[in-house]
Amino acid sequence: MTMPIESVNPTNGATIRTYKEPSPEEVAAILGQVDEAFGSWRTTSFGERAQLMRAAAQVLRAKTDEYARLMAEEMGKPIREGRAEVEKCAWVCEYYAESAEGFLSRELIETDARQSFVTFEPLGVVLAVMPWNFPFWQVFRFAAPGLMAGNTGVLKHASNVPGCALAIEAVFREAGFPENVFRTLLIGSKQVDRVIEHPKVRAVTLTGSTRAGRAVARTSGSLLKKTVLELGGSDPYLILEDADLELAVDACVSGRLINGGQSCIAAKRFIVPRKILPAFEEQFVAKMMAKKMGDPLAEDTDLGPQARHDLRDDLHRQVEASIDAGAQCLLGCEIPDDPGAFYPPSVLTAVARGMPAYDEELFGPVAAIIPVDDEEEGIRVANDSPFGLGAAVFTRDLARGEEVAARRLEAGCCFVNTFVRSDPRLPFGGIKESGYGRELGQYGIKEFVNIKTVYVA
C-alpha cells in the first residue's frame, strides 16, 4: 500500500503540501521510460550533452531565489545558504559540461596488439537515493557527471523534501533535456528495494545514514549491482599547539554550524591539547554564542530550525546522555520554548569515549570538545571512530599539517587550516562506516561507466 508524501515546514510545523505516492506499477512504468530514453541518450555527443548541462546551470541561476526559498520552507536552510547551494549546483553542471569529454576520452595503451585502448561507456539507468540536508547539491553532484557520462537518472529523494525533488526534475526539463532522461520518484523507503531489483536499474548511489547504506548495499550486492555510498561522519578537527587560534576557531565554528550542523562532513569532534584548551574554549564559545538563530527566510539568520522535530529530539537525547556520562555544557544544550524544530548552538567539553558525543554522529549544531595531552594522543583520538569521511588539522607548520593530513588521519577528505567541504574538482567520499566509492572530480564520473578494454589484433 502506498502512503502520502508530506512536506512540513520545520519552522512552524505547518503542512506545505501532500503528494500522492505512485503505485509499484506506476514506478515500474517510469523506470521503463527512463531505460528507453537511455537508448538514445547514450548516443548523443559530449557537445550536445554539454550544451544542455550549461542550460541547466542557467535555469538554476535564473531561479536561485525560488529554489532557496523552497529549501528554507521544506527543511529549514537559511536562505543565504540556500542561494549558495544553488550556485554550487550551477558550478558542478558547468564543470562537467567542460570536463566530461576529457575525463572519459579513450586511453591508448601500448601492447602487442595492432591497437589497444580503454573506453568508458555508460551503464544505463542509475538510481540515486538522496538525503534532505543539501536537497539540491546532493542530487546535482550525482546528476551532472552521471548524465554527462551518458547514463539516465532516477531520483528517490528524502520524503520531507518532495518539492525540491520535483523542482530538480523540472530544471532538466526546462533546460531542454530529452524527456525521461532524468525522473523523480516520489516514493517512500519501502519501495526502494523494489526499484533496485528492477532489471533496468544498473547501479545505485546513496547519500545517507550508515544504516540506510547497509540496506542498499545488501540489496544491490545480492544482485551484483554497482553502488557508491556516501554515509555518516564524525569529522575530527585536530588543533595542534602552534595553531593560529583565531583562524582555527573561525573555521571550526563555520564547519560546525554550516547547514545547521546537519552535514555528514560538518566539523563534529574538536580535539584540543590541554595546554591551549582554556583559550580555545573561550574563543569558541564566544563565536558560537554570536550566531543568530531564527527564521530561515530572514537574511540575517545564521541558524534555522533542524529539518524535523524528531531529528532535533534525537540530538537532544544524545546531548543529555553525554552530560549524564560526565560531559560539561559550556553553551546551549536546551530545547528552546519555540514551536519550531530549533536547537541552539551548543558546546560540550570534557567529552570522552563512551559518550554519544564521542562515539556517535551528532547531526546538529552541537560541538564536542575532547581534551588531549599531545599531538600523538590527538591523532589517536581523531582516528578512534567508526567513521572516516572528513578531517581537518590546524597548525602554523604547513609541512607538519600536510604530513598529518596526508599520512596520519583516517578519512577520505583531509583539510589543513580550513573546514572540510566538497568541490566539483576534487574526489569526495569516505572510508570505514562512512562508505565507499567517490563522487566528483574525474574519479566520480568514472564510478558509473563500463571501463572497457578494446584489443585489435
Residue 308's CB is within 10 A of a number of other CB atoms, namely 17
Confirm if 296 and 78 have CB atoms less than 8 A apart: yes
Q: Report the distance separating Cα 357 and Cα 394, nearest Å.
A: 21
Confirm if 21 and 39 have CB atoms less than 8 A apart: no
- The residue type found at 443 is Y
Active site residue 230: yes
Q: Report the distance separating Cα 369 and Cα 376, nearest Å.
A: 17
| Catalytic hit among 73, 81, 94, 230 | 230
Q: Report the distance separating Cα 312 and Cα 344, nearest Å.
A: 10
All cell numbers assigned to 387: 567513521
**Diameter of the chain by CA atoms?**
75
Q: Report the distance separating Cα 457 and Cα 455, nearest Å.
A: 6
Concatenate the DSSP letters of all residues of 291-330 into one string: SPB--TTSTT-SB---S-HHHHHHHHHHHHHHHHTT-EEE
| Catalytic hit among 264, 333, 413, 414 | 264
Q: Report the distance separating Cα 311 and Cα 341, nearest Å.
A: 8
Active site residue 334: no
Q: Report the distance separating Cα 360 and Cα 434, nearest Å.
A: 12
- The residue type found at 232 is G
**Among all chains, which residue has been given the C-alpha cell 519501502?**
190
Confirm if 194 and 27 have CB atoms less than 8 A apart: yes
Instruction: With CA atoms as reference, report the closest residue to 143 among 129, 153, 133.
Output: 153
Local structure of residue 160 (DSSP, 8 states):
T
Q: Report the distance separating Cα 262 and Cα 137, nearest Å.
A: 14
Give catalytic residues, as residue numbers: 230, 264
